[in-house]
Amino acid sequence: MKSSEECFEAFRQIKNDLPKYPLESQTEADTRARLIDHLLSEVLDWPPENVRRGEHRRIAVLEAKKSGDTFQLPKDITSGKPFTLNGIISKVANLQQYINQVTNYCFNNS
């Protein structure tokens, strides 16, 4: 098990490596290989055998998108006030399609 200092240092290294990869040409697969897999194993210290690619029984769902496919959460989301998905969907452009995609992963592919 890694120490919190080791995990934080791994995070800093991943963050420092990001400029090597031009955002305009990143695909979902690139994001998975260059960022998500490293975050799971090196920063969160998840054993590789606990990460299932394409497996749809999950503890958490991480969805990678190609560069430029973004949405912006409202600034007040960190205010500590509770919010509902229905409420936030109405405020954030493109968020509904991402939630629908993850919902399909969670409920239709188990």
Q: What is the pLDDT of residues 55-69, one digit of tens each?
A: 556 566 777 777 777
pTM of the model: 0.57
The per-residue pLDDT for range 11-43, each reduced to its tens digit, is: 999 999 988 988 788 888 888 888 889 999 999
Q: What is the pLDDT of residue 8?
A: 93
Number of domains in the chain: 2
CA 93 – CA 77 distance, rounded (Å): 15
CB-side exposure of 1: number of CA atoms within 13 Å?
2
Give yes or no: residues 28 and 79 share one domain. no
Both 13 and 26 in one domain: the answer is: yes
Q: What is the pLDDT of residues 79-105, one digit of tens each?
A: 666 667 777 767 777 778 888 888 887
CA distances from 61 to 13, 98, 108 (A): 24, 12, 14
Residue reference for tokens 């690139």: 30
Provide the domain limits for residue 57: 1-68
The residues, any chain, with a CB within 8 Å of residue 14's CB and separated by 6 or more, are: 35, 38, 39, 42, 43
**109 in the same domain as 56:** no
